[in-house]
Chain A
Amino acid sequence: MFPFNFEWAWDIGHAIFFGGFWYAISILGAGMTYCVLKAAYDTLKDGGGSHH
C-alpha cells in the first residue's frame, strides 16, 4: 500500500493499481477539504447566523 511496506515494488502493477487508488482518494480528500474549509469561512463571514 505504501512504498515503505516490505512487499512494495516499483513496477507497473503497483504504479497502475496504487496510482489510480491514491488519485481517487486525493480527489475525494481535496474536494471535501475545500468544502469544509469554505463552509467554515462562509459561516464566519455570515456571523454564524443567517442563511443565504
Chain B
Amino acid sequence: MDSALIPEGAKRCAFPKFAVGIAIVGAVVLWGVYAMLLCWFKGLNQTNMNDNYGFALWIWADLAVIAVGGGAFFTGLLKYIFKVDELKNIINFAVIIGFICYSSALLILAIDIGQPLRGWFIFWHANVHSMLTEVAFCLSCYFAVLTIEFIPNILENRQANKIPFFHHLAHNMHGVMAIFAATGAFLSFFHQGSLGGVAGVMYGRPFAVREGLLIWPWTFFLFTWSAAAFGPCFTLLVTKITETITGKKLVKDNVVHLLAKISGWMIFTYIIAKIIDTIYWAMVTAPGLGFDISRFYSDNSFYGYWILLTEIVICGVIPGLLLIMKSTRENPALRLVAIILGVIGVCLNRWVMVLQIMAIPVMSFDTWALYIPSWQEVATTVLPVAYGIILIAVTYRYLPVFPQEKELNSVEPAAETK
C-alpha cells in the first residue's frame, strides 16, 4: 500500500500491522491530549501543584527529556566538529531522538505555563535577569537547529528525493551542517547549564544552592556535563529497543562500542566531579547555612540516603566503569545494563534537583511536603512518550535513518518485521 515510500531495499511490516500499532499508541496520545485540553480550558487546578510545588512533575519531565536529548548535540558535536566519522551511522537517529525530546519539552512547557497564548511574552517581554529566560531562548533556537538537522533526512525519503530541488536542498544542508551543529552545541551548553544553574542559585534552598565560578554555580557545569555524558546512553538505549522491536541489526557494533566508550568516559569524569561537588556541599556549603546533611534525608517517608547512593553509585559510578572497560563495554548484556542505569541516573538526578528540593523543609516550622501528581499531569507526561514512539515508527518506516541497515540485513530471509 505504501511501498513506494519505503526506502529502497528495506523491508518493513505490512501496512495494516503498522497501522494497528500506530492506532494503539495513538490511543495513549489521545488520552494525553484530553488531559492537556483539560489543563488549558479548565486551568492548572487540574494539577496537584500548590504553594510548595510551583515546579512539579512537568518540570522534572522537561529537565529529564532535555538531558537525555543531549545525545543529539553531543553526537553532532563529535561528528561535525571533532570529525568522528563513524558516528555518521547513528547521527540521523540521534537527531530524531533529540527532535522528539525537545519538541516534547516545548509541549510540556506549553501546558505548564497554563496560558499558552501568552507563551510569546517570554521573548517579547523578556526578563534579562532570569536563567529561565536564557533557557527559553536557547531551547527554542536549539529546537530550530534540530529541525534543520532533521530536514535533510526527511528530504531523503524515496519519493521526496526524486524532486530535484529537494534533492539539492538536502545535499546543500549536509554541506553546511557543521555550522548548524556548532550553533546547536553553543545553545545546548547554555540551556543545559542554565537549567542546573536555576537550582544552584536558590539561596533560600540549602539543599540546592552551590558555590561556583563567576555567576555560574557548579550545578551549571554539572548539568551540561551530565547531559553530554548520559544523552548518548539514551540514544544507544532507543537504538537497542528499535533493533529489538524490528528484529534487525541497524547499527554496526564498532559504532555502538565507540559511542558507548565516549559516553563511559564522560560519565566517569562527570561522576568524579559530582562526588567532589556533593562532598563539598555536604561538608561546607550546607553546614555553613546551618543545615546538617542528615536533615535532607530523614524524617520523611520517601527521601532517604538511598536516593543519593542510587544516583551517584548505582546509576553513576557503575555505568561509568562498565562502559570504560573494554570487556564489559563489548558485552551486550552488561552494556545494556550500563546504559539503562545511566538513563535512570540522569533522570533521578533531575528528580532530586527539581522535586526533592521542593519537598525539604527550610524554615523551622516547616514540614516535609511530599507530592503525588494528578492523573492529568501523568497523562500529559506520558503523552510525549507515545508521540515519540509514533514519530520513531513513522521515520523508521519511511526514511533512510540507518545507513548501515541494508548492509547489515542483506542476507536475511524476507521475514517482514516492523
Contact = CB atoms under 8 A, between A and B. Distances in A.
Interface of A: 1, 5, 7, 11, 13-14, 16-18, 20-21, 24-25, 27-28, 31-32, 34-36, 38-40, 42-43, 46, 48-52
Contacts of A43: 164-165, 168
Contacts of B137: 17, 20-21
Interface string B172-212: 11011001100100110010000000000000000000000
Contact of A13 (B124, B129, B187): B129
Which 4 residue pairs of A and B lie closest in terms of their CB atoms, listed nearest first? A13-B128, A39-B169, A39-B168, A42-B168
Q: Which of A14, A39, A43, A49 has the most C-beta atoms of chain B within 10 angstroms of its own C-beta? A: A39
B71 to A, nearest CB: 21
A14 B169 CA distance: 35
Contact of B134 (A17, A35, A39): A17
Interface residue tally of chain B, by bracket?
A: 20 to 34
A39 B167 CA distance: 8
Majority secondary structure, A binding face:
helix
B144 interface: yes
Contacts of B372: none
B329 to A, nearest CB: 36
Given A1-B124, A50-B164, 16 more contacts: A1-B125, A5-B124, A7-B125, A16-B128, A17-B137, A20-B190, A24-B138, A24-B187, A27-B179, A27-B183, A28-B145, A31-B180, A35-B175, A39-B168, A42-B168, A43-B168
A38 B141 contact: no
Contacts of A1: 123-126
Most buried by A among B133, B161, B171: B171
B148 interface: yes
Interface string B342-355: 00000000000000
Contacts of B144: 28
Contacts of B187: 24
Given A28-B144, A51-B164, A14 B128 contact: yes
Contacts of A21: 137, 141
Contact of B179 (A5, A31, A48): A31
B176 A31 contact: yes
A35 B180 CA distance: 12
A39 B94 CA distance: 26
Nearest to B173: A35
Contact of B169 (A16, A35, A46): A35
Given A34-B176, A35-B176, A36-B169, A49 B164 contact: yes
Most buried by B among A28, A42, A52: A28
Interface string B129-169: 10001100110010011001000000000000100111111
Contacts of B164: 42-43, 46, 48-51
Contacts of B165: 39-40, 43
B183 A28 contact: yes
11 contacts: A1-B126, A7-B125, A14-B128, A20-B134, A24-B183, A31-B176, A35-B173, A38-B168, A39-B172, A42-B171, A43-B168
Nearest to A14: B128
